[in-house]
Amino acid sequence: MNARSRLNHNGASSTFPAPRLPRCPTGIHGLDEITGGGLPRGRPTLVCGGAGCGKTLFAAEFLVRGAAQFGEPGVFMSFEETDAELTSNVASLGFDLAGLVRRKKIVLDHVYLERSEIQETGEYDLEGLFVRLNHAIDSVGARRVVLDTVEALFAGLPNEAILRAELRRLFRWLKDKGVTGVITAERGREQLTRHGLEEYVSDCVILLDHRVHDQIATRHLRVVKYRGALHGTNEFPFLIGEDGLSVLPITSLGLNHKVSSARISTGIPRLDAMLGGRGFFRGSSILLTGTPGTGKTSVASCFAQGAARRGDRVLFFSFEESPNQIIRNMRSIGLRLEPLVQRGCLRFHAARPTLCGLEMHLATMFREIAAFRPSVVIVDPITSLLTAGTDYETKGMVTRLIDFLKAGQVTSLFTSLTHGGHALQQSEIAMSSLMDSWMLVQDFEGNGERNRVLYVLKARGMAHSNQVREFLISNRGIDLVDAYIGPSGVLTGASRVAQAAREKAEALAGQQEAARRKRELEHKRGTLEQRIAGLRSDYETEELDLRRLDEQAGTRTRVLTAERTELARLRQADAHRIAAHVPAQPKPRGPR
Amino acid sequence: MRTGTLERLAARSPRRLAGTTPASSARRRPDRLWRLRLYVAGQTPRSLTAFANLTKICENHLKGRYDIEVIDLLEQPQLSQGDQILAIPTLVRKLPQPMRKIIGDLSDTGRVLVGLDLRAAK
């Protein structure tokens, strides 16, 4: 399926209702979406802009596409370029103007005015221009007309009053003729056009602009006015590529992408495990941020290799390294990318970020994506493009890219280079909100070494690990291991190994200590038990003595009692009283 | 007036070929044939005025050595491209070289003479 057509369909259907005015499709990528179908049919449209902003190409593309794609022949009346110049200029965009002229689809008419050759002697009108245009229109049955740049007449003809009246008549005449017109005009200082043509052409006005910001030029297009129709009023970047103009609608505003719950492996088993066990969602966007040298490209390449081996088509945009360099470098960590490139599963596209403006990059990427139709796209790193535009523009570009990719159900991984320090996460917030998953690779420095750790900061829609993992790059690829997390903090690398050894030693020492103490205690217990045995025998001896004493005392009491009873009997005392009295007098001998 | 009147007018206008009078001045070369072409679009009053003005000027200044061709663009629209005609009426001096163009109904005789290079500009 063609990703571009899907995007277009998406944007058009979600944003604009069915057009009420009949439209004339321009065939220019993106413009028909913004205007809800094209330029107003049967009416003139004013295209204005400064020098070199692409007015003539806009007009030429409108005409060529009309003739070649929509079966509407056209007339190109040029007041500036000759037919030959025009033909060769637009040939660079792949338009075969000469062929269309030969096949009677397009008429080129170069109107040439040299003021020094002209002497004005009384009243005149521009009927000659009308006759010419009419003749040209009739000769091919034209439905489209371009006048480029009609303002040249102001330089060529001395009488402005006549000219204005005639131009008004001309636009009226074009409308009556029922042709869809594109009239280009130079941008004026205080008004849209230098000579106020917008007064006469008021159905649709499109403004083109070419601005330079930080030495990088970006083209913008804005539909200033579109009578009787809804239209996108924003400024849309556009570019002139190898196949003509492309206007890039910022985003499909509806946010109505299809979503998939299918998963795609990251190529690193432990990372899959961190992401709910099964890796990323298909069609999601992933941000991988990290400071320099943390292995972002390696993670990206791992993902690329894994996906390509499973039969996904992977497109790798590299803005830092050349494809061969990536292939060589990745070989050192055990990734074999070359066979995948040869099989056509993996494609690299490398460009310097400063090569061209942001929009050009974006368009190139769109074109590559449309041509290769990948299911995985890697951009390494997206931050390089920051040098090609402002933050705002970059964000806009990333938004559009992500929307484009999401609309095509393409899984995208963006690496992002951050600089050390606390701004690490802040600088990415603008971008991270666009991303579904965000992983952070970070350096830990300590003990004279740097170690890499990896976190999953967020992963929308899945239960992901909140743990930090140490991230190891070896010649067998990438592996994640548990970092040491203990009282002395998170330890990685050699210190993690050292800590593990230390713990092992400590454990061993602890065991030995315990054994020693056990022995000691047992010894102590033995001693105690001996003492207990001694005490017990003492106790038993004393108890024996005590019992003997008791027996002796009992015997003596009985003897005494018997003696007393005998004495009482002898004295004839009351037996009862004596018997009761006996226990109350335990020491009967005391007072005696 | 009907179509073709101008042509008929043109046909009646004097046509003299060069060479009938010997050259008297190498610089001005008054003997040379003046070939003039008047573009019009239909029989408008302005066209007729222009034609009348043109014949008058030619009779006064170029008697016997001019040739006027009237082209009606409504009949031959394809001819408008060759001489880059926009304004109507336009008078084109094809000969002598260089080519000159005079637009308007030729009512300002002084400017016509300047335009045709018959009189130096003030």
**Is the predicted pLDDT of residue A483 greater than 80, yes or no?**
no
Task: Count residue pairs from A and B with Cβ separation < 8 A.
Answer: 98
> In chain B, which residues have their Cβ closer than 8 Å to the Cβ of A156?
86
Q: Please give the average per-residue pLDDT across A311-330, as a whole number.
A: 90
Q: Which residue has the higher pLDDT, A313 or B10?
A: A313
> In chain A, which residues have their Cβ closer than 8 Å to the Cβ of B74?
131
Q: Please give the average per-residue pLDDT across A560-585, as a whole number.
A: 70
Measured between CA atoms, the residue of chain B closest to residue A138 is B77
Give the best residue of B103, B114, B119 to mutate against chain A (max A CB count within 10 A): B103
| The residue to which tokens 């055990």 are assigned | A334
Residues 6+ apart with CB under 8 A from A42: A22, A24, A175, A178, A179, A180
Q: Looking at the structure, tell me whether residues A110 and A226 fall in a common domain.
A: yes
- Selecting from B53, B80, B103 the residue whose C-beta is nearest the C-beta of A132 gives B80
Q: Looking at the structure, tell me whether residues A308 and A426 fall in a common domain.
A: yes
Q: Which residue has the higher pLDDT, A307 or A258?
A: A307
User: Contacts by A259-262 with C-beta closer than 8 Å and gap 24+?
Assistant: A259/A283, A260/A409
CB contact under 8 A, A119 and B41: no
Q: Looking at the structure, tell me whether residues A347 and A428 fall in a common domain.
A: yes
Summarize pLDDT for A14-28 with one digit per residue, the tens.
444 454 678 888 888
pTM of the predicted model over 0.80:
no
H or E segment and range at residue A201? none
Summarize pLDDT for A491-518 with one digit per residue, the tens.
777 777 888 888 889 999 999 999 999 9
Q: Looking at the structure, tell me whether residues A232 and A285 fall in a common domain.
A: no
Among A247, A272, A306, the domain boundary falls at A247
Beta bridge partners of A106: A74
Summarize pLDDT for A218-276 with one digit per residue, the tens.
788 888 888 877 777 777 878 787 777 877 765 554 556 677 788 888 888 888 888 88
Dihedral angle computed from the Cα positions of residues A519, A525, A529 and A532, in that order, rounded to the nearest 10 degrees: 160
> In chain A, which residues have their Cβ closer than 8 Å to the Cβ of B112?
119, 121
In a domain, A159, yes or no: yes
Residue A592: pLDDT band (50, 70, 90) is very low
Query: Measured over all CA atoms, what is the biggest interatomic distance in chain B, rounded to whole angstroms?
Result: 43
In a domain, A256, yes or no: no
Q: Are A304 and A316 in contact (CB under 8 A)?
A: yes
Say what the pLDDT of residue A423 is: 44
Distance CA A110, CA A232 (A): 34
> In chain B, which residues have their Cβ closer than 8 Å to the Cβ of A125?
46, 87-88
Q: Which residue has the higher pLDDT, A589 or B13?
A: A589
Q: The tokens of A121 are what? A: 């002697």
Q: The tokens of A544 are what? A: 């024996």
Measured between CA atoms, the residue of chain B closest to residue A120 is B103
| The residue to which tokens 């003990």 are assigned | A447
For residue A547, give its domain range: 497-579
Q: DSSP letters along B50-91, please?
A: HHHHHHHHHHHHSTTSEEEEEEETTT-TTHHHHTT--SBSEE
Q: Looking at the structure, tell me whether residues A519 and A438 fall in a common domain.
A: no
A441-to-A280, A294, A452 alpha-carbon distances in Å: 17, 6, 7
Give the best residue of B39, B80, B101 to mutate against chain A (max A CB count within 10 A): B80
- A559: Cα separation from own chain's centroid: 114
In a domain, A257, yes or no: no
B52 — contact with chain A (CB < 8 Å)? no
Measured between CA atoms, the residue of chain B closest to residue A131 is B77
Give the best residue of A78, A115, A118, A121 to mutate against chain B (max B CB count within 10 A): A121
Beta-carbon neighbour count of residue A417 at 10 Å? Answer: 20
Count helices and strands (H / E) in chain B: 4, 4
Task: Provide the CB-side half-sphere exposure for A448 (13 A, CA).
Answer: 0
Measured between CA atoms, the residue of chain B closest to residue A127 is B88
Please choose, from the candidates A361, A371, A428, the residue with its C-alpha nearest in 3D space to the C-alpha of residue A400.
Answer: A361
In a domain, A252, yes or no: no
Say what the pLDDT of residue A417 is: 81
Say what the pLDDT of residue A551 is: 93
ipTM for the predicted complex comes to 0.77
- Selecting from B77, B102, B107 the residue whose C-beta is nearest the C-beta of A119 gives B102
Task: Provide the CB-side half-sphere exposure for A549 (13 A, CA).
Answer: 6
Q: Looking at the structure, tell me whether residues A350 and A234 fall in a common domain.
A: no
Express as a percent the part of chain A with pLDDT over 70: 86
SS3 assignment, position B95: strand
Strand pairing class (B100-103; A449-459): unpaired
Strand pairing class (A314-318; A346-350): parallel
Please choose, from the candidates A38, A156, A60, the residue with its C-alpha nearest in 3D space to the C-alpha of residue A108.
Answer: A60
Say what the pLDDT of residue B24 is: 37
> In chain A, which residues have their Cβ closer than 8 Å to the Cβ of B82?
none
Dihedral angle computed from the Cα positions of residues A321, A324, A327 and A333, in that order, rounded to the nearest 10 degrees: -70
Distance CA A206, CA A245 (A): 14
CB contact under 8 A, A157 and B112: no
Q: Looking at the structure, tell me whether residues A511 and A474 fall in a common domain.
A: no
Residues 6+ apart with CB under 8 A from B107: A121, A122, A123, B49, B53
CB contact under 8 A, B87 and A131: no
Q: Are A36 and A231 in contact (CB under 8 A)?
A: yes
Measured between CA atoms, the residue of chain B closest to residue A122 is B104
Q: Provide the shortest C-alpha distance from residue A159 to chain B (in Å).
A: 11
Q: The tokens of A285 are what? A: 């966007």
Q: Provide the shortest C-alpha distance from residue A103 to chain B (in Å).
A: 18
Q: Looking at the structure, tell me whether residues A507 and A431 fall in a common domain.
A: no
Say what the pLDDT of residue A19 is: 47
Say what the pLDDT of residue A247 is: 79
**Is the predicted pLDDT of residue A478 greater than 50, yes or no?**
yes
In a domain, A490, yes or no: no
CB contact under 8 A, A123 and B105: yes
Q: Looking at the structure, tell me whether residues A467 and A572 fall in a common domain.
A: no
Q: Are A379 and A410 in contact (CB under 8 A)?
A: no
Sheet holding A74-78, edge to edge: A106-110, A74-78, A144-148, A180-186, A44-49, A204-213, A216-226, A235-241, A244-247
Return mean pLDDT, chain A: 81
Measured between CA atoms, the residue of chain B closest to residue A111 is B84
Say what the pLDDT of residue A514 is: 94
Which of A68-82, A411-425, A450-464, B54-68 bottoms out in mean pLDDT, i.e. has the lowest? A411-425
Residue A397: pLDDT band (50, 70, 90) is confident
H or E segment and range at residue A214? none
Chain A residues in contact with chain B using a Cβ-Cβ cutoff of 8 Å: 109, 111-113, 117-132, 134-135, 153, 156-157
Q: Looking at the structure, tell me whether residues A317 and A417 fall in a common domain.
A: yes
Q: Please give the average per-residue pLDDT across A528-552, as a whole number.
A: 94
Q: Looking at the structure, tell me whether residues A465 and A529 fall in a common domain.
A: no
Say what the pLDDT of residue A314 is: 93
Q: Are A441 and A454 in contact (CB under 8 A)?
A: yes
Q: Please give the average per-residue pLDDT across B9-33, as a whole number.
A: 45
Q: Please give the average per-residue pLDDT across B14-38, as a whole number.
A: 54
Which of A85-89, A97-101, A441-445, A559-563 bottoms out in mean pLDDT, i.e. has the lowest? A441-445
In a domain, A491, yes or no: no
Q: Please name each of the domains of chain B with its CATH number.
A: 5-12+32-115 (3.40.30.10)
> In chain A, which residues have their Cβ closer than 8 Å to the Cβ of B103?
118-121, 124, 157
In a domain, A70, yes or no: yes
Look at chain A and report how many structural domains it folds into: 3
| The residue to which tokens 């094809």 are assigned | B94
Q: Looking at the structure, tell me whether residues A403 and A522 fall in a common domain.
A: no
Q: Are A147 and A181 in contact (CB under 8 A)?
A: yes
SS3 assignment, position A8: helix
In a domain, A155, yes or no: yes
Say what the pLDDT of residue A151 is: 82
Beta-carbon neighbour count of residue B19 at 10 Å? Answer: 11
Task: List the Cα angle A26/A250/A205 in 5-degree steps.
Answer: 45
DSSP classification of residue A483: P
Express as a percent the part of chain B with pLDDT over 90: 3
Q: Are A423 and A437 in contact (CB under 8 A)?
A: no
> In chain B, which residues have their Cβ closer than 8 Å to the Cβ of A111?
84, 86
Task: Provide the CB-side half-sphere exposure for A411 (13 A, CA).
Answer: 22
Q: Are B38 and B71 in contact (CB under 8 A)?
A: yes
Say what the pLDDT of residue B30 is: 52
Looking at residue A446, which CATH number applies to its domain? 3.40.50.300
SS3 assignment, position A269: helix
Q: The tokens of A207 are what? A: 């403004």
Give the best residue of B47, B86, B92 to mutate against chain A (max A CB count within 10 A): B86
A172-to-A19, A24, A200, A429, A565 alpha-carbon distances in Å: 24, 18, 9, 53, 163
CB contact under 8 A, B104 and A121: yes
- Selecting from A109, A121, A131 the residue whose C-beta is nearest the C-beta of B102 gives A121
CB contact under 8 A, A113 and B85: no
Residues 59-98 of B with CB under 8 A from A: 73-74, 77-78, 80-81, 84-90
